[in-house]
Structure 1
Amino acid sequence: MGAKSRELILLLAVCALAFCESVNKTVKKDSKDSDNFLSQYDEEYDTDDQEVLFNEDKPCPRDCLCAVSQGYRMAKCTRLELITQKFGDDITDLVIENSVIPVELEDFIFKKLGLDKVATIKIVNSTITSVGSNAFHGLHELYAVNLSNNKLKSLHPETFASNKKLLLLTLSNNPLKFPAPGSPDYFLNASSVQELDISYCDMKYIAANTIKNMPGLMYLNLAGNNLSEMEADTFKTLLDLEEIDLSDNNIKSLPDDIFTENTELATLHIQRNPIDSVYGIQIPDLLTLNAGQTNIKFVGPSMFNGMTYIANLNLSGNSIEKIHNQAFHKLVELNYLDLSYNDLDFISSALIKENIELDIFKISNNPKLKHLPMEGFNCSAEQFNIYLFDASNCGLEEVYDDSLKTFTALSQINLSGNKIKSINKHVFSRSPKLVEINLSYNMLTTLEAQTFANNKDLGKLYLQGNPLKVLTAEVFVHTPVLSVLDMSHGDLTALWKVEKTQPTTLLNNLSFLNVSYNRITEIKQTELDTLNKLRSLDISNNPLTCSREFENLMTWLSKRKVSPKENSAIIANLGKDTKEDDGSYSWEFLSQITCGTAMKHNIEPLPTVSDEEIWERIDKDAEGNFDLKDTLDDGKIADDTKDNEKDYDDETADDIDDDEDDDEDEDKDESGEEYDEDDNVDLKVKLIEKPPKNSLEPKPTAATDPKEKVKIDIKLLENDHMYDDLEPEVYVQAQEGKAEHGHYDYLWPMLIAILGALLLLIVIAKVMMMVCSRRNKQVRYNSAIIAAMSQPGRTKKDCGLVYQQLSEDLTSPATPKLNRYAPLHSVTVKASNMSYESSPFHHSNIVPEAV
């Protein structure tokens, strides 16, 4: 083997020398023409297609993290200092957040920092002491600036005059200074800006001159500025204005013609203002009006005559007491109507008669309402397209059979938090497309079997918080696709009554079942057999009792990998604070705290031996002679096992020495006639483990023999045969290990020899590569000097600089190609809204809040 290894090493060495020589010849050939060499070098390393993050001269500055996000170069820093920082010219997004050191934006600061090509600048939650009038000068690719929440007091009117691509400007939450009333001054000269956010900036007054040099505005946010009154010509220069937010101010009224020039205005937010009416306001093309939480008390028949194309109307939280039955008749395009959180005590059946395009109708949290129209809501087209109806927390005592008769397209209904005592089978029969029904926290004690007979598509049913005492499984026969069922916080004593004729497909698609906080004492596996897709079952906080049915259920749930409630809930029958339990809530935990022991193995029903007979045998053999295997196998034990037990008893009676027992057992093991090899290996592994404590195991007494204790443990663990002692097994195992070791006597020497040869080859190859590399570098260095010296005016002392430049170009990155108009990473500064505000409208484009 040594001779062959030497021949192999010599062969590899010759090959390495040949390869190195060929490389040198190639380099020598290329170095004959230095100009060609340099041109090839430039083409290979200086192309713009090479995407490198930073170059050697401008690495990521201190206190910054530089990264590539969706193909754009971002620098995220905690400070901005001109002296200590320098950015690479490939940075497109600059983010400064939570800077402890005050930021001073002097003239040309971003150009001095190397941020000539920056597209977005975000400096938030810091302190900006000053902003020079030319701070952003020269940033021709800049399209978004966010300077919110920086204690910024003033801006020069011409700060952004040279940024012709600037579209998004956010200055919210700064105590800015604005032009005084009647002053000819303007706030900013930024004709390209389309979205301006100056919310919560302590603006007391706004006039037309304030924003006259920003004619391209499409979105204007003036929320939270304590504005009170406005002049009629305030927004007349904003001909492209599409959305304006005046919420959270002190506006008591708006001039009728304030928006007459804004023909593109589609969205108006005036919520949380002490305004009492929008009567007379003329906005012909308005689509969305958010007038929640104002002082509107009464909605008359002509309040919206100047806004007849409204599609989304929010009047929630206004303490409205009365609505004229024709108040919305002219709003024929209405899709969304929110009347929640008001003081309505009556709702007319003709209220939405002409709103045949209505999709969402909310009247929730009107606690004085008590009743829905008995004959239902009238519709000029016979049937509505409403798919969501919310009448929760309205004090409803009853839902009439025809209350929903015109809501045939209904897919989601919320009747929670009312006082409904019963649901007639005809209530939901008119809405066959229902996929979600919420009846939680009412006063239902039972449900009729045909309640959901016509709701074949029902997927979610919420019944929690009702004093339900009993349910029949027939209720769910008509809901084959039901996936979520919540019956928690009730008075159930059982899941449901199982009928003999119930279909095998009952709740076949149910994946989540919650029956926690009831009075259930027993849950049978047969009640859940048809729940093939069950993934989560919450049975916590029930007075569960330990029984064979309960243990079988725990085993069944574990096999199905059904998840319990993931917390340490209190089981009602324990009288124990589960805060003392460190373990997470699981079926094992539930079994342990219910039955007193953790579940150890699968428990199956006994087909041939009754429970009485088993416990009889346990009581009979209470002194340690009880053989659990005999009981589980119903007394059927192999003949050879009985013979072994007899031999053991005879040997014990004759006082045979332990050494003689070991010899005899060893002879039996070596003969191979008494057991199978695979069974023996399995037995050895189990014998080494400490037998677990079993609740069914009889307590040892003073007269119990330790050997008999070991014997019983072995019988519990083995499969087919019995063995008396542990020592013979260990001896056989050692003998087998020694026999197997003989087959591999020559393996380790062979492996060591092979690994040594490979290591030597690697060392030789490494040496050859180093030699080749040095010769290659020398050739390149000489070529570079030749090229440099051939240029006019170059002297010998410059040769070192030429080589330095080449080495830098080898590792320096190229400037990437960028899309300057990609979305900016967002930061949001929002005002606190009331929790019951349920309007779904918001600025759907790029909001300056999200710059």
Structure 2
Amino acid sequence: MRVNSGFALASLLFLLLSSIETKKPGKGRGLRGARHKLTRDRIRGAGRHSRSGPTRLVSPACSESTESRDVFVDCQERHLNSIPPSQTWSKEPKHLLLARNRIKVLQDGAFFGYERLISLDLQQNQISLVEEGAFHGLKELTTLLLQHNHLGTLSEEALIPLPNLRYLRLYDNPWNCLCPLDSLIRTLQVPSNRNFGNHARCSVPIRLKGMKLKQVDPELLCKESDPTGHPEGDLRDMTEPLRPSPFRSKPDATTSCHTYLFPKIRMDCSKRGLTEVPAGIPEDVVHVDLSHNSIHHLKARDFQSTRSLRTLNLSNNNMERIDTASLSGLLHLRELDLSENSLHFVQYGVLEDLYFLSKLRLGGNPWVCDYSIHYMVYWLRLHPGVKHSGLLCRSPPEYTGETVEEYVHSYNRECPKDRQNSRTHQDQTDPELWNTPMEVQGELEEELEPSHLRLPQKYQIIRLS
């Protein structure tokens, strides 16, 4: 019994000492203390001082770059479902690109730690809900892109934490123009917010479908809303005649294409089912991609407002014709892609304004090696700095596979005097050919030849009736 009593006493003393040890300063205080310590470490980890420390997260899926001293974080098309933590990056980003991901909800405090952001690109996600405190702390943000998402409503309170916001894109969202959207519509219609939601339109109710949010009368939203809360609105809409949409000769570039503002302004209009160049391409756009559409005919003044354009991609359009003035004004264009189309030749004068062009892609076109192709070769000779590719003869059969330059060289090797004499004798001896389309075509070809390459006229033909 004494042994057992001694063992029990020793056990009791050990427990008392252990209890005293856990209460010493600097030690944990059970489960509650551990949770408190974990929360404190998370908060500290979100601070800026931890960016250079060993606890910084690494995200190989995204890339960081610096341009004009601004840090860009590019997380576009990375299959992200949420906003990456701010401590992920080595430096504080000023531009965060999250386009083309799978983000569905922007929760309160989603951008905690991103206080120095200037632009935020969230277009082409699946966002259907933005909580009121999602943008809390973004006091320096000037550009917010939310177009091409699933937003039906957005409260004014969500924009209050953005005092310096200047550009807000909201188009291509299924906006529900009923009472909950009242505050946002009033915000968009404030005169100073002229760059807020300019192209956003109502999807429901039917009576407002297609109307711009900036044109909706906010006084009627709550008065005439369906009391049952049906998303299609009041049943009276079904009895009202539908107004025909106004005729538009061209699609609008802003709503038909995806616009990316950083690091350089570009428009992605590829695979949009376009049959012509959309109107309203902004003047400051640097890159335009119109590939994989059905633009068969490039018309004059299609790019009259795009004075800053540097690259233009028109490949894979089955294009058959380019008008003379279609590329006029593109004085700063550096790269032009006309590959994989149905071009037989390029008309005289099409390339005259492209003074700084350095790259020209021409492959995949059925180039016809006859006199009409000479203009392209003459222009390339006068612009030796232009790197071109794909200029191969597809027809006639005797020239198939040859480069167009080889064809023109062999054409010029023939004696032009003999060729012209033989043609003159034929024209004079065969009255049926006088004033025929063949003769007119020859005269037009002579006129279309560049003046500095046109040979002096040596022959004068006088026809006697």
TM-score, L = length of structure 2: 0.47
Indicate the structure whose relative CO is greater, using CA pairs within 8 Å and at least 6 residues apart.
1
Pair member with larger Rg: 1
TM-score, L = length of structure 1: 0.28
